[in-house]
Amino acid sequence: MGIFILYLFGLFHTKRKKPSTINKVAIFKSAAIGDIVLLTAILNDIKKYTNYNVTLILGMDNHSISNVIKDCPEIIIVDIKNLLKSIREIRKNNFDCLIDFGSWPRIDAIISYFSNSQYSAGYNTKGQQRHFAYDFTINHNDKIHELENYRNLISKVLDIKCTSSPVLICDKLIINKYNQAVLIHMWPGGYKSQYKEWNKKSWLILIKKIIEHGYVILLSGTQKNIHCNTIFVNQCEKDKVINIAGQYNLNELSSIMDQSHAVVSVNTGIAHMAAALGKPTVCLNGPTSPKRWSPLGDHVKNVNSTKEGAGFLNLGFEYDCGPADTMEYISVEDVYTNLIGLIN
């Protein structure tokens, strides 16, 4: 239905020229915490090179990260499940330019179309048919890192050269009482997230090796991960593995990560956050393409699956395009060696 609706929009939509004067700019990204981390690089460049009045439009699952964005602009939170309310909320602002950084959600393209902005821009993504909704599009490139796609779009729309890297800041909201702590995040989120999980046996071996090196382990996660984390706590030396799943919001967890020696995570928002905080970060990549979605930072190591055909995810939902067992081909020794190399 999304393709049909957007095609109809294209039939009746006259492409508008970019306004000669732009003041109010909306940056729209309705989902994914890791994507917002990458977008901090774009926000930094807009602030550095322009005087635009920027508003960040976020969704229900990613707006909480705004608390750790440096000099975060004004925020509008939309619930895309309530399409009409989302459109009404955005239309109130009369933006001069709205830039949709979503690469595939058609619902975002529909919202952009009805945004009441003077000018809209987004991606022409192969197979998604989103381009009908915008006044201006560039081709989304599945061969480059997503941050490069963001840079390409913003440079074409706002005529600025983007060179900044993702960066987050946080306050010490939670004092980490563990002086020698490594935070481990085992649980990916999103569609078919189980295919990004590493097996429990490998995690347990890794945890015990890190403990032997003199570190305390902090196991993060959401409320639903508490029980699974407890299994690891019960199999390790007392007080060496601490289950913090479900105890902290994203802002507080950022504070804990910032005070930890290092972070080990599957490729999910936590890995991107740790990298943007400047922490030594080891990221485990199975179906996720490190070329497209690796966390970016000066102290990041990506440990990739050796399974033939691994790293096949482009937009994040193409699980039928590659093997289901890619995470089984990540070795404990590779993860451990990369971690010790970062923190020694």
Rounded to whole angstroms, the maximal C-alpha distance in the chain is 66
pLDDT in tens, the chain (344 residues): 767 777 677 767 788 999 999 999 999 999 999 999 999 999 999 999 999 999 999 999 999 999 999 899 999 999 999 999 999 999 999 999 999 999 998 899 999 999 999 999 999 999 888 888 999 999 999 999 999 999 999 999 999 989 999 999 988 877 777 778 999 999 998 889 999 999 999 999 999 999 999 999 999 999 999 999 999 999 998 899 999 999 999 999 999 999 999 999 999 999 999 999 999 999 999 999 999 999 999 999 999 999 999 999 999 999 999 999 999 999 999 999 999 999 98
Contact 268, 253 (CB under 8 A): no
Q: Do 263 and 257 meet the contact criterion of CB atoms below 8 Å apart?
A: yes
- Residue 301 · residue 330 · CB < 8 Å: no
Strand partners, 217: 182, 241
Whether 181-343 and 2-158 are alike in CATH topology: the answer is: yes
Instruction: Give the three-class secondary structure for 17.
Output: coil
* Domain 2-158 annotated CATH 3.40.640.10: no
DSSP code string of 182-248: EEEE----STTGGGGPPPHHHHHHHHHHHHHTT-EEEE---GGGHHHHHHHHHTS-TTTEEE-TTSS
Q: Using an 8 Å Cβ cutoff, are 75 and 66 in contact?
A: yes
CATH, domain 181-343, list 1.50.10.10, 3.30.70.1380, 3.40.50.2000, 1.10.1060.10: 3.40.50.2000
Three-state secondary-structure class, residue 76: strand
Return phi, psi of residue 8, to 5°: -65, -40
Residue type at position 20: S
Q: Name the pTM for this structure.
A: 0.94
Q: Which helix (H) or strand (E) holds 136?
A: strand 136-139
Domain boundaries, the chain: 2-158, 181-343
